[in-house]
Amino acid sequence: MMKNKLGDRLSRTLEVQLPYAESLDEYLDTVIPIVRPWGEDLYESEYYEDTPWLEVRDDDSFHETVLHFFNEGGEYLVSINGNVDGGSWRFLEKSNKLLIEIGGQAELYELAFLNRNFFIMAKHGDQRRLGAAKYFVMINERVGRRLEWREAMELLFNTYRSNNNMYIILALLILLIVAVAVILSTQ
């Protein structure tokens, strides 16, 4: 029983908590620099092509189901509650940016974070000064179907937690090996 209490206490001590923020942009400003090492680049299109990406916002009046598709060959589709519009997307190789064109309008985005579950881009320019969201956040539809935006941020932060815990376990394992080696060498 004592061993479990010690293990639980050690586990809680090592667990990293998601810092609190008021908005999606604030969370992402904190979390993206932490999880970026475990992300992919836009040239690795297999991570985002032909996947239904569910848009996530922290706006209480946003109730639509918005899906984005970046299909092979540059076809871009956006479905808003089942109503589909088409356009195109293009990867700008030298800058790790994406250009999305729809309805005669084009927008330029820079990759913020990408993995199999999240596709997060920052719209080029100072969006906060313009009163708009800084980040364009999408989550793989099969993963994010029932998540609120704060739960999605917790899931994104788990990318860091799981990788950070691996490093902690590895460090503890190395310390254990060194301790055993020291004990054996003194005998």
59, two tokens: 């706006």
How far, in Å, CA of 113 to CA of 120, rounded? 5
CA 186 from centroid of its chain's CA atoms: 48
Average pLDDT, the chain: 83
* Half-sphere exposure at residue 29, Cβ-oriented, CA atoms within 13 angstroms: 10
* Domain ranges within the chain, ordered by starting residue: 2-14+23-186
Contacts of 150 (CB under 8 A, 6+ apart): 27
Residues 134-175 pLDDT 10s: 999 999 999 988 888 888 888 888 876 665 545 555 555 666
| Helix-then-strand count for the chain, H and E | 4, 8
Q: What is the pLDDT of residue 164?
A: 55
Check: CB of residue 135 under 8 Å from CB of residue 121: yes
CATH of domain 2-14+23-186: 2.40.128.640
Mean pLDDT of 1-17: 49
